[in-house]
Structure 1
């Protein structure tokens, strides 16, 4: 019985430090570009957040200038059925996860290089 309890405690401790991925919302978000503006539409039944960067019209930050050397520089929440907009003067990149975000990352996603993001469970 003692061996079982020790094994259980070890598994519980290991599990608490294991990756706990959330859900991407890329399939929820439609992007429509036109005349220096990009409109993002949330086509799912729950709130999503975008992280994005690029040649943004009203910011000097560019991809790679994010917090702690992160790639993405900006974020916004979009409610179900709603739209969000950004103003660009060239290229941009974005990623989306289910849920919401506040100032900074707050443990809602993890960047994996410059091309990939892992959404983390809230």
Structure 2
């Protein structure tokens, strides 16, 4: 007689497999999400609101009060935008205490680093699709 029923064993195995799977940002399509993001000034901040029904990520740079990084000071080789955030559908995220700024947005999510977007010295960008999303 088995110590645990088969159904429970299958559920436990599926649960462990989910934890063992590599963490991945939301499904990146490689498409721009500029049409999804409404960027508006709220006092000294800029609010990025996602108006689409998919998660997006926003990268930005500019004249920020609490950071010495400016446009072009990002990670080497992909260095225009310096800050990033994920924004779920209908939600809002902020760039705090920022004056002049530039931003870009893509469908999906961004993790640490900037593998999900390629930016150029002029601020133009290309969204990078997740594996299997060509």
Same fold by TM-score, threshold 0.5 exceeded? Answer: yes
Alignment of 1:1-122 (within 5 A): 22-69=30-77, 70-106=79-115, 108-122=116-130
Query: What are the superposed Cα offsets for residues 46-103 of structure 1, whole Å, 9 maximum, x if unpaired?
Result: 1000010001122111111000051110000000010001123420000000000011
Classify 1:50/1:89 alpha carbon distance in 2 versus 1 (closer, same or farther; 3 Å): closer
Query: What are the superposed Cα offsets for residues 1-59 of structure 1, whole Å, 9 maximum, x if unpaired?
Result: xxxxxxxxxxxxxxxxxxxx810000000011132111110000010000100011221
User: What runs of 5+ residues in structure 2 fail to find an aligned partner?
Assistant: 1-28
Report what 2:18 is aligned to.
none
Of Structure 1 and Structure 2, which has the larger fraction of its residues in helix? Answer: 1
User: What runs of 5+ residues in structure 1 fail to find an aligned partner?
Assistant: 1-20
RMSD: 1.4
CA distance in 2, matches of 1:74, 1:115: 13
Of Structure 1 and Structure 2, which has the larger fraction of its residues in strand? Answer: 1
CA contact (8 A) 1:54 1:88 kept: no
Question: Alignment length, in residue pairs?
Answer: 101
* TM-score in terms of structure 2 length: 0.71
